[in-house]
Amino acid sequence: ELFEKKNYELRIAGGAVRDLLSGMTPQDIDFATTATPTEMKEMFTSAGVRLINNKGEKHGTITARLHEQNFEITTLRIDVVTDGRHAEVEFTTDWEKDAERRDLTVNSMFLGLDGMLYDFFNGYEDLQNKKIRFVGKASERIQEDYLRILRYFRFYGRIAEQPGDHEPSTLQAIKENAKGLAGISGERIWVELKKILLGNHVNHLVRVMYELDIAQYIGLPRDGNLEEFDRVTEKIQNLCPKPMTVLTSLFREKDDVTNLDLRLKISKEEKNLGLFLVKHRQELTKATGVEPLRPYQDFIMDSREASTNSKICELLKYQGEEHLLREMQQWTAPSFPVSGHDLRKMGVSSGKEIGTALQQLRDEWKKSGYHMDKEELLSCLKKL
């Protein structure tokens, strides 16, 4: 209503339009308008609408807060100068010019609030045919922001039905520009890569990244273990793995995790998970016999660290042990029933002796499958 009153055009833009046309609820809705940031600020201020202070204004984005929700509204713009990472912009009132600077056809549509679709580059048709294409010339779009190479793969994994349905000219443009990814910050790359790792066709897409010479610029090992990657990704998709669990199957040694961290600045938790999986994926496996979960439970009990439980669950996903994973998720680590206080009551006084006795009792408790209770353990102590 505010925009209408002032005769500014306002439409939903980009990803939200794509999601709505795919029958999905968009996570966030971005708007595009013919009003400039200054005009928007005046209009919102006089209507008493709160503005959220953010740094988007020089790119034409104003964030308004209405009904406990933030709305990002961006002035139509043309990218005047781009260096493969940042753009200098000029405002426009031409919707097609704004669509032209967007990355993929499926992300370049606008939706009027009256339900009218504005689609200058056959984005709707591509979405129906599940095709991922750059707007205009692929190489030009990529050179405006090299991260678009990874965005291409991410949306391919989200929308395309079959692996291998790429336009050869697109792959050629990606290969020729792969080196540009070296100048993109690790944090931006990791955001995209994580989404690729959890999407469809992940083994196909990662292979393509190696074929097109992208891997080395985004922190992946030059000789990634693609056979292991195929084996793991085949079983892991339905187990809700963490991105790092999927990625670790490419790694042959712990240096691969360290190098990834140097390039992408992954979180401490992600790095530790990668190192844990590389170290334990071969040795720590299920036991034969009636208690296949036992080695994993023993490992958790021995480590006594809160985070070990979730690492073990990721290891089970990595190994494709779906049934054991379900059991593990329902298992609660029992707490050791004896304390130093109990031993003092029994007359063990020196700290060193208490420590030794507790460790011996812990070993007995472990042998019993953690079933012995306090009385049994203390009577065991008398024997010891």
- Write down the pLDDT at residue 202: 94
Tell me the per-residue pLDDT of 166-199, one tens digit each, with 9 for 90 and over. Answer: 999 999 999 999 999 999 999 999 999 999 999 9
The CB-based long-range contact list for 47-54 (8 Å cut-off, 24+ gap) reads 47/2, 49/2
- List, as one string, the DSSP characters of 33-86: ESS-HHHHHHHHHHTT-EEE--GGGGGTEEEEEETTEEEEEEE-EEEEEE-BS-
**Structure confidence at residue 347 as a pLDDT band (50, 70, 90):** confident
* Spatial distance between the Cα atoms of 155 and 141, rounded to a whole number of angstroms: 15
DSSP 145: B
Q: Cα–chain-centroid distance for residue 356? A: 45
Query: pTM to 2 decimals?
Result: 0.85
Q: How confident is the model at residue 81 (pLDDT cuts 50, 70, 90)?
A: low
Question: Which secondary structure element, helix H or strand E, spans residue 31, and what is its range?
Answer: strand 30-33
The predicted structure's pLDDT at residue 178: 95
The whole-angstrom separation of Cα 282 and Cα 284 is 6
> What's the rounded Cα separation, in Å, for the pair 264 and 109?
32
**Cβ distance 124 to 117 under 8 Å?**
yes
Residue 336: predicted pLDDT: 82
Residue 276 CA to residue 131 CA, distance in Å, equals 38
Bridge partner residues of 81 (DSSP): 88
| 3-class secondary-structure state, position 354 | helix
In this predicted model, what pLDDT tens digit does every residue of 113-155 receive, in sequence order?
Answer: 999 999 999 999 999 999 999 999 999 999 989 999 999 999 9
- Residue 73 phi/psi, 5° resolution? -125, 125
* Domains of the chain, start order: 1-123 (3.30.460.10), 340-382 (no CATH)
pLDDT tens digits along 23-80: 999 988 899 999 999 999 999 999 999 988 767 777 789 999 988 888 999 999 987 7
**What value does the mean pLDDT take over residues 272-295?**
90
Report yes or no: 106 and 24 within 8 Å, Cβ to Cβ.
no
DSSP3 helix / strand / coil % (the chain, rounded to 5): 55, 10, 35
Three-state SS for 88?
strand
Q: pLDDT over 70 for what percent of the chain? A: 97
Among 359, 360, 357, residue whose Cα is nearest residue 346 = 357
